Structure 1
Amino acid sequence: MTRTEEFEELRPLLFSIAYRILGSVSEAEDAVQETWLRYEASTTEPRSVKAYLSTAVTRVSINVLRSARVRREAYVGPWFPEPLLDDPYEDPERAAELADSVSMAALLLLERLSPLERAVFVLREVFDFGFPEVAEAVGRSEAACRQLAVRARRHMTEGRPRFEADRKEREELAARFFDALREGDVLGLQDLLAAEASLVGDGGGKAPQLARSVVGAENVARLLAAVFPRMARAAITFEPHEVNGAPGAIFRDRDGKVLHAMVLEFLDGRIETIRTVINPDKLAHLGPVADAWEIHREVRETR
Structure 2
Amino acid sequence: MAEKEEGAEVTAKVEEFEELRPLLFSIAYRILGSVSEAEDAVQETWLRYEATTAEPTSTKAYLSAVVTRLSIDVLRSARVRREQYVGQWLPEPLLTDPYEDPERSAELADSVSMAALLLLERLSPLERAVFVLREVFAFGFPEVASAVGRSEAACRQLAVRARRHMDAGRPRFEADRQERDRLAARFFDALREGDVDCLQELLAADVSLVGDGGGKAPQLARAINGADNVARLLAAFFPWLAKVEVSMEPHDVNGQPGAIFRDRDGKVLYALALDVLDGQIQTIRSVINPDKLGHVGTVADAWAIDREIRQARRPRR
Residue 269 (structure 1) aligned with residue 297 (structure 2): no
Residue 145 (structure 1) aligned with residue 175 (structure 2): no
- Which of 186, 206, 218 is the matching residue for 1:176? 186
- Which of 104, 108, 112 is the matching residue for 2:118? 108
1:115-264 superposed matches below 5 A: 115-161=125-171, 164=174, 166-264=176-274
Q: Contact 1:200 / 1:275 at 8 angstroms: preserved in 2?
A: yes
Which SS does the other structure have where 2:126 is aligned? helix
Distance in 2 (CA, whole Å) between partners of 1:212 and 1:177 is: 22
Q: Contact 1:165 / 1:269 at 8 angstroms: preserved in 2?
A: no
Distance in 1 (CA, whole Å) between partners of 2:276 and 2:71 is: 30
Aligned to 2:301: 291
Q: Contact 2:207 / 2:230 at 8 angstroms: preserved in 1?
A: yes
Q: What amino acid is aligned across from residue 99 of structure 2 in structure 1? A: Y
Superposed CA deviations along residues 186-245 of structure 1, whole A, max 9, x for unmatched, are 111111001111111000000000111111111111111111111100000111000000
Distance in 2 (CA, whole Å) between partners of 1:292 and 1:251 is: 11
How much does 1:130 deviate? 0.2
Deviating more after overlay: 164-173 vs 55-64: 164-173
CA distance 1:23–1:163, shift in 2 (3 Å): closer
How much does 1:164 deviate? 4.4
Aligned-residue sequence identity (percent) comes to 80
Q: Contact 1:98 / 1:126 at 8 angstroms: preserved in 2?
A: yes
Aligned to 2:47: 37
Residue 50 (structure 1) aligned with residue 60 (structure 2): yes
Superposed CA deviations along residues 104-145 of structure 1, whole A, max 9, x for unmatched, are 000000000000000000000000000000000000000000
Distance in 1 (CA, whole Å) between partners of 2:312 and 2:237 is: 10
Q: Contact 1:165 / 1:266 at 8 angstroms: preserved in 2?
A: no
Residue 99 (structure 1) aligned with residue 109 (structure 2): yes
How much does 1:168 deviate? 2.1
Residue 85 (structure 1) aligned with residue 133 (structure 2): no
Q: Contact 2:110 / 2:173 at 8 angstroms: preserved in 1?
A: no
Q: What amino acid is aligned across from residue 44 of structure 1 in structure 2? A: A
Q: What amino acid is aligned across from residue 179 of structure 2 in structure 1? A: E
Q: Contact 1:165 / 1:268 at 8 angstroms: preserved in 2?
A: no
Q: What amino acid is aligned across from residue 180 of structure 1 in structure 2? A: A
Q: What amino acid is aligned across from residue 50 of structure 1 in structure 2? A: K
Which SS does the other structure have where 2:261 is aligned? strand
Structure 1 portions without partners, runs of 5+: none
Structure 2 portions without partners, runs of 5+: 1-10
* CA RMSD between the two structures: 1.0
Residue 280 (structure 1) aligned with residue 290 (structure 2): yes
Q: Contact 1:181 / 1:189 at 8 angstroms: preserved in 2?
A: yes
Superposed CA deviations along residues 231-263 of structure 1, whole A, max 9, x for unmatched, are 100000111000000000000000000000000
Distance in 1 (CA, whole Å) between partners of 2:119 and 2:205 is: 23
Distance in 1 (CA, whole Å) between partners of 2:56 and 2:172 is: 43
Distance in 2 (CA, whole Å) between partners of 1:90 and 1:275 is: 25
Q: What amino acid is aligned across from residue 89 of structure 1 in structure 2? A: Y
Superposed CA deviations along residues 89-111 of structure 1, whole A, max 9, x for unmatched, are 01111111110000000000000
Q: What amino acid is aligned across from residue 71 of structure 1 in structure 2? A: R
Which SS does the other structure have where 2:260 is aligned? strand
Which SS does the other structure have where 2:257 is aligned? strand
CA distance 1:163–1:27, shift in 2 (3 Å): closer
Count matched residues: 303
CA distance 1:123–1:162, shift in 2 (3 Å): closer
Deviating more after overlay: 155-164 vs 263-272: 155-164
Larger radius of gyration: 2
How much does 1:268 deviate? 2.2
Aligned to 2:7: none
* Deviation beyond 6 Å, 4+ runs, structure 1: none
CA distance 1:148–1:75, shift in 2 (3 Å): same
Which SS does the other structure have where 2:53 is aligned? coil
CA distance 1:252–1:162, shift in 2 (3 Å): closer
